Structure formats: C-alpha cells, structure tokens
Amino acid sequence: MPRDVLVLGAGMAGLTAALSLLRRGHRVTLLEYQDRIGGRLLSLPLGDGMFSEAGGGHFRSNMPYVLGYVRHFGLPLLALNDGLPRYMVDGMTASAADLGNWPWPLDRAERNVTIAASLNRYLQRVGLDTDTVLDARWPEGDAIEGLSNVTLGDMIRRVGASDAFCKLLDAHGGGFTSGSPALAIIPDLAYHFGDQNLFRIQGGNERLPLAMADAIGRDRIFLGSPVAAIDQSGGRVHVTTRSGRLFSGDVVISTIPFSVMGDIQVTPGWSAAKARLFAEMEWDQTVKVVVKTRTPSWLAKNARGWPMAGGDRSWERAIDITGNEPGGHGSLFFYLNGANADAVLARPGPNRGQPVVDQFRTDMPDLIDEVLAVQDFAWGEQPWIKGSFGGPPMGGGWMLREWSKPEGRIHFAGDFTTLKTGWVEGAIESGLRAARQIDAAAPAEGRPRIRQEW
Ligand SMILES: Cc1cc2nc3c(=O)[nH]c(=O)nc-3n(C[C@H](O)[C@H](O)[C@H](O)COP(=O)(O)OP(=O)(O)OC[C@H]3O[C@@H](n4cnc5c(N)ncnc54)[C@H](O)[C@@H]3O)c2cc1C
C-alpha cells in the first residue's frame, strides 16, 4: 500500500531513501534547508575545468554502494593517487617513499613496512581486520561497549604499537586519529588503509546527488525550506517549514544532522534517549584550505595523493586530489581539525587560510611550485550543520542502537547514524536502512553488471 513519505534533507542519505521508496511506488516529498542539493557533497570550481571539494573529496573501491550508484548514473571517474606522503613529526622529516631512513624511535617490526601494514597487523592482534569492520552489522554484542571505552591509541599500544607509530598514524590520518574511541575510528581507518584505489567524479562529486535528484524529479524537492517544526501527535505527521508552509505525511525520514536538531520544535517532545543522543554526539569542526597550484609539482619529489604530506604542524595534512584530472594544474587542500581549524577561524579577513599555506611552504619548500588561488571552507560556519561529521564520544556505544530506532513515525538516517560517519558509503547505507524500515523491499541502485560491449 503506497504511503506518503516526507524526507527531511536532500543530501546523499535523504536522496537515497527517497529514490528507493519511489521505486516501490510510494509518494515522496523532500524538504531541504538550502537552495541547493547535495548537503556535504559540495564541489568548488577551480577554473580551467578543474574542481575541488569542500566536503566529500574521494571514494575508494571498498565502497560497494558508492560504486553501484556512480555506475548506475554513468558518471565519469577520475583516478587519484593513494598517499605517498612526506611526514614532519617532532621536528623531523622523512618520506614514506624512503622507509629505511625514518628518524623516529619506531619499534623494530614497524620499520621498513608501511603504516598501513603495521596498523593491519595490530588490528589482527586485537581480533579485527579492515574488511569485517565495514559490515553494517559490525560490531555485535559486548564488543560494542568494549570498543567505545578505549581509544585506538591505547588499544594498539597494548598489542605492541610504539608511541612513535601512533604519532605517524596521526600525521597520516589526521591529528584526531589515535585519540579517538576505537569504535568510531576503526571503520574510518579501514577506508584509509584497506584499499589503495581512489577515485572521484569528473566535474565534481556533487554530480552524484544532482543525478539522483533528477531521477527523483525536481518537482518533488522543495529547496530553501528549512524544517522548523514536526508534529506527530495526530493521525498524520505534520511538518512546518520556517516560512510557515505545512506538509503532511504518513511517515517521516529525517536526515537533519543531530548538531542542528535543537533548532526544531517537536510535538510530542523527544524521548529522553533521543534528546541525549542529539546532545551528546560529538561534531568535528573541520576547515579545508583549498589551493590551486601552477602544476602538481610534488609528483617529481616522490610525494603525492591522500595525504601528500602530514605532520604535527599547523597545516596538519596536505591532500593532493589532482590525479588524472585534465587541466594541468595542481589541486590540493589542507584538511584541518581541532586547534589547527580553530587557528584559521580566529583570524580576521578573507585570506585567513593563507598562513597555513605559507607555513607549509616554509616547512616543505620544494613541494609547491606556485600558488594560483587559495580559499577556505569552514564547516562549523554552515547553519544547516554547524560541524563536519558527528560520531559517538568515549562511552557512546549505546548510540548505535538508539540512532537506528524510529521515534514514533520519525525514522533517522544520515552518515552520522552509522559507524561510517564522514563517508558517503555510510550516508547511502543509512538511507537504505530507513527506507527498509518503511518498506522491507526498498531497493538500492546499481547492482554490478558486466557491460555487453566488452
Ligand atoms: C570536510 C569533509 C570531508 C569529507 N570527505 C569525504 C570523503 O573523502 N569521502 C566520502 O565518502 N565522504 C566524505 N565526507 C562525508 C560525506 O560528505 C557525507 O558522508 C555525506 O555527504 C553525508 O550525507 P548525508 O545525507 O548523511 O548528510 P548531509 O549531506 O549533511 O545532508 C543533510 C541535509 O539536511 C539538510 N538540513 C539540515 N537542516 C535541515 C532542516 N532544518 N530542514 C531541512 N533540511 C535540513 C542539509 O542542508 C543537508 O542538505 C566528508 C565530509 C566533510 C564535511
């Protein structure tokens, strides 16, 4: 029996859920805060036909949903390089291309092998691996609490990792890595260290949500419609936008980030468990400083990819997404979190990202030939999310059960309702989960098929 479904948010999770339910004959309406589609897939034109990404920047081959959706919509791909970085930690520099000459006090077994290989070895020692942790059912039972009460660094130190290795891991994966709860960070590392095949969409990753919006029908999507109130006290659910427009449905899928849930009036009020979930989820405040260079000059210096450089410096990580994009210029961004992001935000004026680039060029003077343009994008400044990605804090294992449980006729989706937070794969997974709570046969797009013309 077809149902009237209101989907709140036209990012990847909302679009996935809407498309899936439409395929089953349900009537779907999407309400989107912004005047644009795509949420945290937000492409930035660099000129000369090149694009950078303020949000989701790349995908990997161990992401079957992303591959399926990209294939289904026939979007052209660019190939990117996996990271072959130069590190700068504790005032010392070394290249991942020159493993024998690392100056840090690494353990004997950590020498002469990549960081990925050592990390996988430590994960094996605690009974984990970079495949299993990407299963939507991982982890189960008692493992959830255990993994949410220990940081990744403490977990791998117990099975032999040195402090120097944990510092290198932070330089490669971002300053937050070893201090994060193991539960929240291990799937993230499984993407970074479990697959070396990277890609993005030519013309901008935003093309994927735009293609999905076309398939859904633009007339079903109301842009510039921030939801202000949800009332499920009667027979139907009523949703009111900030301008006072009223929509009604049998059921709602909310992909509104929990970081902005407090801006919405709900009747009856949220249960105590949902209110706690929204209040206690932790949201990063990532800033990206996006740079266009004359050429990808770092390639000649044996540094490249995701990341091209990493360290305990104010530039944290330099990420090269140039790959085989046509245009001839270099496309790079600095990916800043915590104190490094705060330092950019504290500066006045339009060029607040420039000191990050300057410091990088002082620390590694040979990697960038000429800077053609610099811009910054601060996720905490976006009123529709006020952050970049949300995840469970230490001791937050209980959140896993809570975020997948509907509240009355409101179902929840968004990458932050999975352990693949910060990844489009998680957004799609969550959209399908919410759609299947409403209709168990709701399908995904793009099952693998061999092209006949081969
Ligand atoms: C800095 C950064 C780097 C990233 N890098 C990668 C990467 O390399 N690879 C990768 O796969 N993923 C990456 N991601 C994650 C990826 O972008 C997300 O997983 C995905 O886009 C999330 O989709 P979503 O639908 O769950 O949430 P969102 O895209 O955030 O969608 C939520 C939507 O809800 C809307 N909304 C909010 N409030 C309201 C309201 N009151 N009423 C109506 N609508 C509302 C918002 O406007 C938004 O459109 C990155 C993200 C960031 C921020």
**What is the 3-class SS of the chain, one letter each residue?**
CCCEEEEECCCHHHHHHHHHHHHCCCEEEEECCCCCCCCCCCEEEEECCEEEECCCCCEECCCHHHHHHHHHCCCCEEEECECECEEEECCEEEECCCHHHCCCCCCHHHCCCCHHHHHHHHHHHCCCCCCHHHCCCCCCCHHHHHHHCCEHHHHHHHCCCCHHHHHHHHHHHCCCCCCCEHHHHHHHHHHHHHCCCEEEECCCCCHHHHHHHHHHCHHHEECCCCEEEEECCCCCEEEEECCCCEEEECEEEECCCHHHHHHCEEECCCCHHHHHHHHHCEECCCEEEEEEECCCHHHHHCCECECCEEECCCCCEEEECCCCCCCCCEEEEEEECHHHHHHHHHCCCCCCCHHHHHHHHHHCCCCCCCEEEEEEEEHHHCCCCCCCCEECCCCHHHHHHHHCCCECCEEECCHHHCCCCCCHHHHHHHHHHHHHHHCCCCCCCCCCCCCCCC
Q: Is 10 in the pocket of ligand 1 (CB under 6 A)?
A: yes
State which ligand 1 atom lies nearest to the alpha carbon of 416. Answer: 26
State which ligand 1 atom lies nearest to the alpha carbon of 14. Answer: 25
Distance from Cα 24 to the centre of ligand 1, integer Å: 25
| CATH level 2 (architecture), domain 4-41+206-280+391-438 | 3-Layer(bba) Sandwich (3.50)
Assessment of whether the complete model's pTM goes beyond 0.85: yes
Q: What pLDDT score does 140 carry?
A: 87
Q: Is 12 in the pocket of ligand 1 (CB under 6 A)?
A: yes
Q: Which of 37, 207, 317, 424 to mutate to test the pocket of ligand 1 (most atoms within 8 A of CB)?
A: 424
State which ligand 1 atom lies nearest to the alpha carbon of 263. Answer: 41
Distance from Cα 298 to the centre of ligand 1, integer Å: 30
Q: Is 9 in the pocket of ligand 1 (CB under 6 A)?
A: yes
Q: What pLDDT score does 446 carry?
A: 86
Instruction: Grade residue 163 by pLDDT with cuts at 50, 70 and 90.
Output: very high
Q: What pLDDT score does 451 carry?
A: 58
Instruction: Grade residue 449 by pLDDT with cuts at 50, 70 and 90.
Output: low
Q: What average pLDDT does this structure show over 113-121?
A: 95
Q: What average pLDDT does this structure show over 40-58?
A: 97
44-61+285-388 fold: Polyamine Oxidase; Chain A, domain 2 (3.90.660)
Q: What pLDDT score does 452 carry?
A: 59
Q: What average pLDDT does this structure show over 336-363?
A: 96
**Residue spans per domain, the chain:** 4-41+206-280+391-438, 44-61+285-388, 83-195
State which ligand 1 atom lies nearest to the alpha carbon of 414. Answer: 26
Q: Could you report the per-residue pLDDT of 275-330, keeping only the tens digit for each?
A: 999 999 999 999 999 999 999 999 999 999 999 999 999 999 999 999 999 999 99
In this chain, the answer to whether the domains covering 4-41+206-280+391-438 and 44-61+285-388 adopt an identical fold is: no
Q: Is 39 in the pocket of ligand 1 (CB under 6 A)?
A: yes
Q: Could you report the per-residue pLDDT of 230-243, keeping only the tens digit for each?
A: 999 999 999 999 99
Q: What pLDDT score does 448 carry?
A: 58
